[in-house]
Structure 1
Amino acid sequence: MSLPPSPVRAADIAVRLRAVTKVYESGVAALGPIDVAIGRGEFVSLLGPSGCGKSTALRLIAGLAGPSAGTVEIAAASSETHPGHRIGFVFQEPTLMPWTSVRDNVGLPLKLAHVTAAEARPRVDAALAQVGLADFADAFPRELSGGMKMRASLARALVTQPDILLMDEPFAALDEITRFRLNDDLLDLWRRLNMTVLFVTHSVFESVYLSQRVLVMTARPGRLSAEIAIEADVRDDVFRASPDYAAYCRRVSDALAPAYTGVLAL
């Protein structure tokens, strides 16, 4: 699949963090200071060791927590039909309600927003179709595979028609074949829906395959230590087997290695 270029222009920034830090009440300094700008329609991955503040950064962008210092700026939506901005969040676990159907799980954000059932139904059906779950709308989570549960979680994020999609290691627990398939499906959705995607992962290989830029973070408190542009027009099995892919993976791995100095010695 072909990818658009990834320049970040000042007038076209979707998310900006300015000198952001996060210190928890326990005194743990989790993040920053960190400065970063994400362009509209970009696919960017945050890569770093466990506990370096990747998930914290997503929560600050989503407004689920506030920074201890600095500012988190979210640009207004680019579409005139959707004033303001919408943020979708896909967590590490699907967190589906086991007692209700896939359709009701996906429609939950609309129900909480007091969208009428008549308006919500076609939007839910469209989101399920986008992730390939149209035939499982009436199924219960216990009847789904791990990959299908994550698709349902993605549909729940897409049903609000977000401009910005935040994804916190969504495929980490899946087998390799399922993960590869969902990587391709995610890239296809990103291209078709023109979303800004910020994707957290521990995988060098996944970050290189998906991203236009990989932002490498230090150990806690997480700061940006490297920014690597992945300049590949097509992402497919041929790219995965190419010397360019291997070279990018080595470059990202080398940038990440200092974050594990001392960690592996514990």
Structure 2
Amino acid sequence: MAEPALSGSDAGSAVRLRGVAKTYDSGVAALGPLDLDVASGEFVSLLGPSGCGKSTALRLIAGLATPSAGTVELSHHGTEQRGSHRIGFVFQEPTLMPWANVRDNVRLPLKLAHAPAADADARIAAALDQVGLADFAGAYPRELSGGMKMRVSLARALVTDPDILLMDEPFAALDEITRFRLNNDLLSLWRNLHKTVIFVTHSVFESVYLSQRVIVMTARPGRIGAEFRITSPEPRGEEFRTSAEYAAFCREVSGALAPSYAGQAGA
């Protein structure tokens, strides 16, 4: 399967989509045409109803699917070391191997890349420390809470030191308290590691809290219906979540999202 093209011409842009569309063999037009630029180090959320192509867009950026039309370009950031990738992907489900402990679940992408054992061990330890699981390296998935399993999945994405982190509704199945805590931890990681993050969510509140920019997508086939810059200064915390400014952003984004749900079954 073809990977997204590399571009070194625009140092400020990590991801560039031009006229990207996806139509499946069944004839369903899932996405586009879509034009989108994501700056290096930016945190962007894709917000929209089920079936609008948010996850499809992530898969196209990751090279897990091929667009029916248009181009996907990723900026090039120098020579990669063995066991490193431009992209890390956190899926909706943790998809952990039940027979492997936390350490070995995180090791998987390095093992597939044939990274040297000593280097892999150091990177696994660093990734687990970053997500707060340093004391659980020997635990098995059955011994972990839902939030801890998702932290393992995040560590597995970070262990290759990617430039771009793609996250497909990773916290949707978690309880509210755990979700809020992971939102805070993700923001801290983003600030410290300077990754480019593209985050898919159904939640207006989550998108506004996390993002520098919220892209509101239309119903299928997904296009950009509206775009909002969340200008609240960093670092954000609980004081922002309870502020009038946050509530105002949420109302504005919700208003732009409403037409995407119009006419949908059960809406």
SS in 2 for 1:132: coil
Q: CA deviation at 1:119?
A: 1.5
Measure the CA separation in 2 of the matches of 1:215 and 1:138. 39
Letter in 1 for 2:240: F
Measure the CA separation in 2 of the matches of 1:150 and 1:265. 29
Residues 210-249 of structure 1: CA deviation (Å, up to 9, x unaligned): 0000000000000001010000013111111111100000
Q: How many residues align?
A: 257
Is the Cα–Cα contact under 8 Å of residues 75 and 85 in structure 1 kept in the other structure? no
Measure the CA separation in 2 of the matches of 1:179 and 1:85. 27
Measure the CA separation in 2 of the matches of 1:85 and 1:94. 19
Residues 94-152 of structure 1: CA deviation (Å, up to 9, x unaligned): 00000011000001000000112122101001100000000000000000000000000
Tell me the C-alpha RMSD between the 2 structures.
1.6
- Give the aligned partner of residue 242 of structure 1: 243
Measure the CA separation in 2 of the matches of 1:146 and 1:43. 24
Is the Cα–Cα contact under 8 Å of residues 85 and 160 in structure 2 kept in the other structure? no
- Give the aligned partner of residue 74 of structure 2: 74
Q: CA deviation at 1:85?
A: 5.6
Once the two structures are superposed, the pairs formed by residues 26-175 of structure 1 within 5 Å of their partners are 26-77=26-77, 86-175=86-175
Is the Cα–Cα contact under 8 Å of residues 60 and 67 in structure 2 kept in the other structure? yes
Measure the CA separation in 2 of the matches of 1:48 and 1:245. 19
Query: Which stretch shifts more, 237-246 or 81-90?
Result: 81-90
- Give the aligned partner of residue 213 of structure 1: 213
SS in 2 for 1:191: helix
Report whether the alignment pairs 1:251 with 2:244.
no
Once the two structures are superposed, the pairs formed by residues 164-243 of structure 1 within 5 Å of their partners are 164-234=164-234, 235-243=236-244
Is the Cα–Cα contact under 8 Å of residues 106 and 153 in structure 2 kept in the other structure? yes
Once the two structures are superposed, the pairs formed by residues 6-21 of structure 1 within 5 Å of their partners are 11-21=11-21
SS in 1 for 2:182: helix
Unaligned runs of 5+ in 1: 1-9
Is the Cα–Cα contact under 8 Å of residues 43 and 196 in structure 1 kept in the other structure? yes
Q: CA deviation at 1:253?
A: 0.2
SS in 2 for 1:222: coil
Measure the CA separation in 2 of the matches of 1:264 and 1:90. 29
Measure the CA separation in 1 of the matches of 2:223 and 2:200. 14
Q: CA deviation at 1:86?
A: 1.2
Is the Cα–Cα contact under 8 Å of residues 31 and 222 in structure 2 kept in the other structure? yes
Which consecutive segments of 4 or more residues in structure 1 shift more than 3 A?
Answer: 79-85
SS in 1 for 2:207: helix
Is the Cα–Cα contact under 8 Å of residues 85 and 161 in structure 2 kept in the other structure? no
Shift in CA distance, 16/129, structure 1 to aligned 2, threshold 3 Å: same
Is the Cα–Cα contact under 8 Å of residues 47 and 215 in structure 1 kept in the other structure? yes
Measure the CA separation in 2 of the matches of 1:191 and 1:244. 21
Is the Cα–Cα contact under 8 Å of residues 88 and 158 in structure 1 kept in the other structure? yes
